[in-house]
Amino acid sequence: MAKTKTLAVLIAFFLAAGAASAAPAGKTASVPAIAGFTADDMPYDAGNALLLRWPDGQYGADTVYRVFLSTAAAGGWVHADEFKAADREAKAIPLPFWAWEPLPGELAVKLEIGALVGELKSGSDVKVKAAAYRNDKLIAESLAVTAQIRGNWFRLDRLNNLILLTVIVIAFFWAVSHAKRKGLFIRRIAGLDAIDEAIGRSTEMGKPIFYVPGIGQMSTISTIASTFILGEVAKKVAAYDSQIKVPHYDPVVMTVAKEVVKQSYLEAGRPDSYREDLNFFVSHDQFSYAASVDGMISREKPAAIFFMGYFMAESLLLAEVGSTTGAIQIAGTDVEHQLPFFFTACDYTLIGEELYAAGAYLSKEPMLVSALKVQDLGKLVVMVSVAVGGVLVAVGAKMNWDNLVQVVLTLFKAY
């Protein structure tokens, strides 16, 4: 009997010891547990955050919560966040209304793991717990909860962007089909009419035309637009039997431009006039490129110069020298802060989107015209959205219709 009692006491002792060792670090028997504390992978992210949730109002408004996390790599508990209850209401989670439904009276914390313990692999386990303090005294603590972080393939929070993209793609295909069948109208673009004048002048004077495509790479939209314009300019140059020189900053752009110019000479019926050295590489250093092109312009004194593409600080250096030689200068770029320099030193300047439109206007190519039409559709969407959205938000704010204001603002949320 005594043996049985002793055995029972020992078993009870070991069970108690096991339960005590399984309890989270720092937890004391007198502290109650925070009810309803959960941790899950943060939805619609790249897999580096957790979403912690628990009901608010358990311990009063002056409660301060501290969140701790632990990973296998980091070991021990890391102080992850500290906040007052009012600062982490569920509605503050940065997800749109269609991807996140905040429950009233609930606290929610987005815990960025990467910033605290470094990047973890998708599927890694992270242990978290929260502790409530009042006047710096522990009043409650949650059980430690383990959650896995995972990257998500689909970003439901970006659904508005996807819908807009889908509409644009559908509109583009419709526009291409319409442009091929019936053609699409593009208004006249001032400045482009001067291209004929410039090429004619250079033909009469027997001087070359310089076409400077700027310092953009082939992925730059303005450089792509510039190659389309180059194609049309080269076609006219070939037809007039004038000369064109295209100094390049980027070897890839040069390769593309070579093909474009060659094709233009072929289409103009003058393949015999085409030479490989019409396009030539100068330098991949911005200012040595500018210095060299300046030298060429001042020595060869071209009759016309085109600056079309992506330009930075070299814009004025180039345009100013061209201006002193008396050449007709036509410029176009989408770099807004360089446009003023082209205005001051060039005869005609294509502003921003006009550069994109120029290629379509000159070539009447259905694909380009359609792209321009879709851009116009996009501008129309922006104009209408600003007008209607502005009125709705203003009325909503004035009448205290917070839901309306939030819905409108969330619809146009960018990421």
Instruction: Pick out residues in 359-398 that bind other proteins (CB under 8 A).
Output: 361, 372-373, 376, 378-383, 385-387, 389-390, 393-394, 396-398
Stretch (H or E) spanning 71:
strand 64-71
Task: Give min distance, CB of 175 to other proteins, in A.
Answer: 10
Residue 277 in contact with other proteins, rule: CB under 8 A: no
DSSP state of 220: S
According to CB under 8 A, which one of 46, 353, 363, 367 is a site residue for other proteins?
A: 353
Phi then psi for 133, rounded to 5 degrees?
-125, 145
State the nearest-atom distance from the C-beta of 132 to other proteins, in Å. Answer: 34
Judged by CB under 8 A, which of 112, 193, 204, 285 binds other proteins? Answer: 285
Nearest approach in angstroms of CB 329 to other proteins is 17
User: Residue 49: helix, strand or coil by DSSP?
Assistant: strand
Please identify, among the stretches 38-46, 56-64, 158-166, 194-202, the one whose residues bind other proteins according to the rule CB under 8 A: 158-166
Residue 357 CB, shortest distance to other proteins, in Å, is: 5
Q: Which two tokens stand for residue 262?
A: 């060659």
Say if CB 51 and CB 40 are below 8 A apart.
yes
Q: Which of 91, 92, 85, 32 is nearest to 62 (CA)?
A: 85
* Region from 20-28, 52-60, 156-164, 236-244 binding other proteins, contact rule CB under 8 A: 156-164
Q: Among 5, 181, 185, 403, which residue interacts with other proteins (rule: CB under 8 A)?
A: 185
DSSP sequence for 353-380: HHHHHHHHHHH--HHHHHHHHHHHHHHH
Collapsed DSSP state (helix, strand, coil) of residue 67: strand
The C-alpha atoms of residue 290 and residue 298 are separated, in whole angstroms, by 12
What is the rounded CA–CA span in Å between residue 167 and residue 172? 8
Among 341, 347, 370, 371, binds other proteins (CB under 8 A): 341
**Which of 160, 263, 273, 363 forms a contact with other proteins (CB under 8 A)?**
160
- Looking at the Cβ atoms of 79 and 284, the one nearer to other proteins is 284
Least distance CB 297 / other proteins (angstroms): 10
Using rule CB under 8 A, residue 413 touches other proteins: yes
Helix (H, G, I), strand (E, B) or coil at 282: coil
C-beta closer to other proteins: residue 78 or 316: 316
Inter-CA distances, 45 with 51, 103, 107, 148, 155, Å: 11, 21, 20, 13, 7
Pairwise CA distance, residues 406 & 69, whole Å: 33
CB-nearer residue toward other proteins: 6 or 217: 217
In whole angstroms, the minimum distance from the beta carbon of 405 to other proteins comes to 5
Number of chain positions touching other proteins (CB under 8 A): 73
219 burial type by CB count under 10 A (0-12 exposed, 13-18 middle, 19+ buried): exposed
Residues 6 or more apart in contact with residue 317 via CB below 8 angstroms: 287, 290, 291, 294
354 binds other proteins, rule: CB under 8 A: yes
Q: Which of residues 62-101 bind other proteins (CB under 8 A)?
A: none
Task: Count how many Cα atoms sit within 13 Å of the Cα of residue 89 in the half-sphere of its side chain.
Answer: 8
Which residue number, 47 or 96, has a Cβ lying nearer to other proteins? 96
Contacts (CB under 8 A) with other proteins, residues 237-256: 251-252, 255-256
